[in-house]
Amino acid sequence: MARASRPTERTNSRAGGTLDGMSTVEKVTVSLPAELLARIEDRRHGRETSRSQVVSELLWRGWRQAETEDREQRYRASYQAEPDTREEQAWADQAAADMLGEEDSVWGTDDAGNDASG
């Protein structure tokens, strides 16, 4: 893991250095493409807030999105490793049909439970 070229500055809430309710913040230096910085500045001025606040909000939003994508990928991988059995799929189909108010039939099957698709 790359280390900062100089120590980070820690600030706690007692010293007045909170950001969005967090009790501790770290001060770091990063390099950004000029276009991205311009967009951050536009957003900051439109909201009359600090650059740190805007960057933190966007980073948290991106972090939550990345965590959601990771959870979805783990779910897909788990499902692919152990997909529903025919019995489980029939149960899910019947439950869906019941919720939709369909009478005694399961999608894709006839009344005897045979495949009705062809």
b/e per residue 43-72 (b: at least 16 CB within 10 A): bbeeeeeeeeebbeeeeeeeeeeeeeeeee
Range list of H helices, 2-112: 34-47, 51-81, 86-99
pLDDT band at 83 (very low <50, low <70, confident <90, very high): confident
pLDDT band at 103 (very low <50, low <70, confident <90, very high): low
Q: List residues bridging with 27 in a β-sheet.
A: 9
pLDDT tens for 21-75 read 666 889 999 999 999 999 999 999 988 899 999 999 999 999 999 999 999 999 9
Q: List residues bridging with 66 in a β-sheet.
A: none
pLDDT for 10 beyond 80: no
Give the pLDDT confidence score for residue 4 in this predicted structure. Answer: 47
The angle subtended at Cα 88 by Cα 86 and Cα 92, nearest 5°, is 115
Give the pLDDT confidence score for residue 106 in this predicted structure. Answer: 52
Which helix (H) or strand (E) covers residue 12, if one does? strand 9-12
Residue ranges of the domains in the chain?
1-30, 36-83
Amino acid letter at 106? V
Give the pLDDT confidence score for residue 49 in this predicted structure. Answer: 92
In this structure, the number of other CB atoms found within 10 A of the CB of residue 106 comes to 20
Check: pTM over 0.75? Answer yes or no. Answer: no
